[in-house]
Structure 1
Amino acid sequence: MTEATLALAQAGDGEAFRELVDPHRRELQAHCYRILGSVQDAEDVLQEALLAAWRSIERFDGRSLRAWLYRIATNRCLNYLRGESRRPQPAGQPEHGPRRPGREWSAEPWWLEPYPGDPDDLVPGPEARYDARESIALSFVAGLQHLPPQQRAVLVLRDVLGFPASEAAGILGTTPAAVNSALIRARAAIPPDQRPNEVPLPRSTAEAAVVDRFVSAFQRFDLDELVSLLTEDARLTMPPEPDEHIGPWPIARFLQSHVGLELRFLPARANGQPALMLYLPDPHAPIWRANGLIVLTLRGDRIQALTRFTGPGLLARFGHPRTLPED
């Protein structure tokens, strides 16, 4: 940020303002996503935050643009969560949310969405306790949704982004003591197994081998091979559906209803993890139609979780075609 660019932005130059904020846009979007768990909600809130920043750029004191933008975005996220109860519940879904007493960590929130791509351009600060890949992992983002909003924001600001307690307090409009207290409670609430363990490196040979085995087994309808790929505590979930299948054999019984179907997969990346766009044949035309995204959470050379997503906007975000030709 140069003083000249800031002066132009504060004088009403929209291009100068974009020059100031564009380098922070991607990390701010990921920040909103972590707190909200939904890419669509994150995009909407980020647009509101940037509009608010544009309207108040004249009052920016010039000290730390990044912290100033994070303060606006974080508070917009918290405002959104305060009004979350007014968000329409999907038809047929039980009432549940991140603050429901007694809620299990294993149950994923219905609004959870996959984040496209890898976190290559997300760089944590020196005080961060999570690296970029851990901080965007699907299980971590799902786990965050079970924390009260203030604790969620504090954990992300301190342990994901690495802001010092004093800066986090300034962003949240509170005191360092309150930040430290909320952080202790948030850390205590996150089970150890929410941290990635023995995960193959992204795009590595080891990761590709597991994915290839999964695709091959599914396309060959080899149920035994599919079961052998799953860890003992493997989970299959399909947000926003409330159904959850835990363990190799319950998952196998569910998969059995799909074994025998013709399937095609295109590779994808979501939350820094391997993913597959699923295509099914159209019974009325010589094409294959997209039928959802499967995100694979790996542990060593096996699969710990399969999370299937569908819904509007999925194909556009991941850049995949709606249909494939028959050949």
Structure 2
Amino acid sequence: MTAPTLRADFDGLVAPYRRELLVHCYRMMASPHDAEDLVQETLLRAWRAADSFDPDRGSLRTWLYRIATNACLTALASRRSRPLPSGVGARFDDPDTAFVRGPEVPWLIPLPVDPATSAVERDQLRLALVAALQLLPARQRAALLLREVLQLPAAEVAEALGLTTAAVNSALQRARARLADIGGGADTVTGSPTEQRAVVDRYAAAFERADVPAIVRLLAAEVVLEMPPMWNWYVGPEAYAGFMRRVYRTRGRDWRTVPVWANGEAGFTAYLDGEAHSVQLLTVAGGLVVRATVFADPAVVELVGAPPRYSA
């Protein structure tokens, strides 16, 4: 493909890469809105630079990824990364502790993902992994994604990021070590969509019945419960059960659920007294829930396409 060919059929040639560029930008930014904006910025930059495209130096896909990565790095120079509470705050031991809001933090926002999408994409978008990536410096994050997801040679990653090959290899070593230290389920192997949905459906049924013992039977020993934008997060079935008892005691038992999917993981929109309350995503591994992330933000409810009121 030559540069004139690219400019002549730009929309058609870049169309096959739009989705994967969105996934890449989302993993960099942890916000669907930012990712969409940066894909548009990427394509605008690519259109303007179309005459400089050189197929001898790499494929169109690689060229677009370079542009997208640098667009993300530019954006991150003036924006804070979007973590989850378990990555940046101390855990809470008392499930009855008052809620502590964290409006000062731009929290991770989930990305709706069709369960029929590829296993590779679902794996790349797992909440724990995306959240862990946000704890890396921006250039380490970019180097890791370009090297291990796009599988570019270290020399090409260096060229894309304006670094030396040695600097890229050093950044990769530090990024891998940091991810290993973070843990938190970033390397968890989740079940198939069918396996996930079966466990989440059982959880949702117990949730609607306010059946705390049934919920606990579905939890892993080190299960994590977190609720951005609250700082409160908990570890283990005992704290989880205590928190759920608090929910039913203070908010009542008139809960209904509607299935949703986001970040390659099954979940549901929870409705309290018929009104949308939260989007709850459950990470399932080995037939048990290892993480529950509750997004009590009306914008997230709207993002996943859930109606504001429950309809049976």
Instruction: Report the TM-score, using the length of structure 2 for normalisation.
Output: 0.83
Identity of aligned residues (%): 41
Aligned to 2:143: 154
Q: 1:59 aligns with which of 33, 36, 52?
A: 52
Q: 2:257 aligns with which of 255, 258, 265?
A: 265
Q: 1:217 aligns with which of 206, 223, 227?
A: 206
AA at the equivalent of 2:261: R
- Between 1 and 2, higher relative CO (CA 8 Å, sep ≥ 6) is seen in 2
Aligned to 2:217: 228
Output the CA distance in 2 between the equivalents of 1:119 and 1:70.
25
Q: 2:157 aligns with which of 168, 175, 199?
A: 168
Task: Give runs of aligned pairs for residues 167-246 of structure 1, distance below 5 A.
Answer: 167-191=156-180, 194-204=185-195, 207-246=196-235
Output the CA distance in 2 between the equivalents of 1:66 and 1:245.
42
Output the CA distance in 1 between the equivalents of 2:255 and 2:184.
32
Structure 1 unaligned regions, length at least 5: 86-95, 124-130, 282-287
Q: Which has the higher helix share?
A: 2
CA positional deviation for 1:167: 2.2
1:113 aligns with 2:109: yes
Question: Residue 233 of structure 1 contacts residue 246 of structure 1 at CA under 8 Å; is this kept in 2?
Answer: yes
1:293 aligns with 2:285: no
CA positional deviation for 1:121: 5.2
Aligned to 2:4: 7
Aligned to 2:97: none
Aligned to 1:278: 270
CA positional deviation for 1:133: 3.4
Q: For residues 132-168 of structure 1, give each alpha carbon's deviation from its aligned partner in whole angstroms, at most 9, with x where no partner exists.
A: 4332110000001111111111111111222221222
AA at the equivalent of 1:78: L
Question: Residue 297 of structure 1 contacts residue 306 of structure 1 at CA under 8 Å; is this kept in 2?
Answer: yes
Q: Which range moved further: 310-319 or 298-307? A: 310-319
State the superposition RMSD in angstroms: 2.7
AA at the equivalent of 1:182: A
1:77 aligns with 2:72: yes
Output the CA distance in 1 between the equivalents of 2:51 and 2:242.
61
* Secondary structure in 1 matching 2:17: helix
Question: Residue 152 of structure 1 contacts residue 186 of structure 1 at CA under 8 Å; is this kept in 2?
Answer: yes
Output the CA distance in 2 between the equivalents of 1:167 and 1:119.
33
Aligned to 1:68: 63
Question: Residue 27 of structure 1 contacts residue 122 of structure 1 at CA under 8 Å; is this kept in 2?
Answer: no
How many residue pairs get aligned? The number is: 291
Structure 2 unaligned regions, length at least 5: 93-101
Q: For residues 102-157 of structure 1, give each alpha carbon's deviation from its aligned partner in whole angstroms, at most 9, with x where no partner exists.
A: 9569899742011211476568xxxxxxx543321100000011111111111111
Question: Residue 225 of structure 2 contacts residue 240 of structure 2 at CA under 8 Å; is this kept in 1?
Answer: yes
1:135 aligns with 2:132: no
* Secondary structure in 1 matching 2:34: helix
CA positional deviation for 1:304: 1.0
